[in-house]
């Protein structure tokens, strides 16, 4: 594997800076966000690299669990802040966080215990990267699905209220919204799976090949990861949409859009 130097990373950083300058000249309005995101990437990955180095040397269940929970809580915040309209109060944070916990954690533990069978099963070199990939993709799916659900519910509030007045139950009044939200949340992973190996080489497979792993072994790992991501994203999206759609109504099945607020 070719070892990268600080100078190599600096060259890549200069390309990002160049892109920010071009965006600024075109008044695209993304220069500041791009530079902040690039800075966060460098800092966060450097820190997690140091944490993982320490964690790999001291593989204890307690430390692995603590890091996993920190990742989950941060992912829950990212789900919330990416929505145009989100639930007020703790619900805005809880829907995505609970959904990711139920899906990503369950799928990760299943894969570690049943499929990989590492010893110990919580070995951080397997558990943390696997959970990170599942959380990242599940986070994107849930954020897209919840944004779709709440935005369309707001736009079609008159239609939903009319359905309720005609005697439909709350779950039936938003059934088509739930379908749209789930489809939206699943589109990224479905596209990724459909294009894998034809249009793109997925990240994990590429990384393993660059590290010197046999291509066939890298392919097997990538297939496993993409299947697990699809399941985790699907379960998380279904859970988030189900919980979120129920919270759109009160106990008397009345539409309560005051529970939503715009972030703009």
- Cα pseudo-dihedral 14, 12, 47, 41, rounded to 10: 80
The pLDDT of residue 230 is 92
E strands, 92-203, in order: none
Q: Is the pTM of this model over 0.75?
A: yes
Tokens linked to 14: 């200069």
Q: pLDDT 10s per residue in the chain (264 long)?
A: 667 788 989 999 999 999 999 988 887 778 888 999 999 999 988 998 888 888 888 888 888 899 899 999 988 888 887 777 778 778 778 888 899 998 988 999 999 999 888 778 888 888 888 898 899 889 999 999 998 998 888 888 888 888 888 888 888 888 899 999 999 999 999 988 888 877 776 777 777 777 777 888 888 888 888 899 999 999 999 999 999 888 888 888 888 877 777 665
| Helical pair 124-155 and 175-195, crossing angle rounded to 10 deg | 140
Nearest of 180, 156, 160, 177 to residue 169 by alpha carbon: 160
Instruction: Identify which of 149, 31, 38 has the alpha carbon closest to the alpha carbon of residue 83.
Output: 149
In the chain, domain spans: 1-57, 60-262
pLDDT at 222: 85
Are 31 and 21 within 8 A, CB to CB?
yes
pLDDT of residue 42: 92
Torsions phi, psi for 228 (to 5 deg): -65, -40
Residue among 244, 239, 243, 208 nearest 225 (CA):
208
- For β-strands 85-87 and 260-262, DSSP reports them as antiparallel
Contacts 24+ apart (CB under 8 A), 248-257: 248/153, 248/170, 248/174, 249/170, 253/164, 253/169, 253/170, 254/164, 255/153, 255/157, 255/160, 255/161, 255/164, 255/170, 255/173, 257/153, 257/154, 257/157
- What pLDDT, on the 0 to 100 scale, is given for residue 210? 74
Distance CA 170, CA 97 (A): 24
pLDDT of amino acid 207: 76
Q: List, in order, residues 6 or more apart from 136 with CB less than 8 Å away.
A: 75
pLDDT at position 31: 86
Cα 170–235–135 angle (5° rounding)?
Answer: 125
Instruction: Give pLDDT, residue 263.
Output: 60
Tokens of 234: 């699907």
pLDDT score recorded for residue 108: 92
CB of 146 within 8 A of CB of 83? yes
pLDDT of residue 18: 94
User: How far is the C-alpha of 147 from the C-alpha of 143, rounded, in Å?
Assistant: 6
What is the reported pLDDT for 39?
93
Q: Kindly state the helix (H) or strand (E) to which residue 86 belongs, with its residue range.
A: strand 85-87
């Amino acid at each position: 594997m070719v070892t990268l130097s600080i100078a190599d990373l600096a060259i890549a950083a200069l390309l990002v800076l160049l892109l920010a300058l071009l965006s600024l000249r075109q008044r695209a309005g993304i220069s500041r966000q791009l530079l902040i995101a690039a800075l966060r990437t460098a800092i966060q990955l450097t820190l997690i690299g140091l944490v993982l180095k320490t964690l790999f040397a001291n593989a204890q269940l307690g430390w692995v669990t603590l890091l996993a929970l920190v990742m989950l809580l941060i992912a829950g915040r990212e789900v919330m802040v990416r929505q145009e309209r989100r639930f007020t109060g703790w619900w805005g944070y809880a829907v995505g966080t609970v959904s990711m916990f139920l899906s990503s954690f369950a799928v990760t533990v299943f894969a570690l215990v049943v499929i990989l069978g590492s010893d110990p099963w919580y070995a951080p070199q397997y558990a943390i990267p696997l959970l990170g990939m599942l959380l990242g993709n599940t986070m994107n799916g849930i954020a897209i699905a919840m944004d779709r659900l709440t935005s369309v519910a707001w736009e079609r509030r008159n239609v939903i209220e009319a359905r309720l007045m005609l005697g439909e139950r709350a779950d039936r009044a938003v059934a088509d919204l739930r379908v749209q939200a789930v489809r939206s949340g699943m589109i990224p992973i479905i596209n990724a799976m459909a294009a894998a190996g034809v249009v793109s080489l997925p990240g994990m497979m590429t990384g393993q090949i660059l590290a010197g792993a046999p291509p066939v072994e890298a392919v097997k790992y990538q297939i496993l990861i993409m299947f697990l991501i699809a399941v985790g994203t699907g379960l998380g999206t279904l859970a988030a949409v189900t919980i979120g759609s129920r919270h759109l109504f009160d106990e008397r099945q009345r539409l309560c859009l005051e529970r939503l607020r715009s972030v703009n």
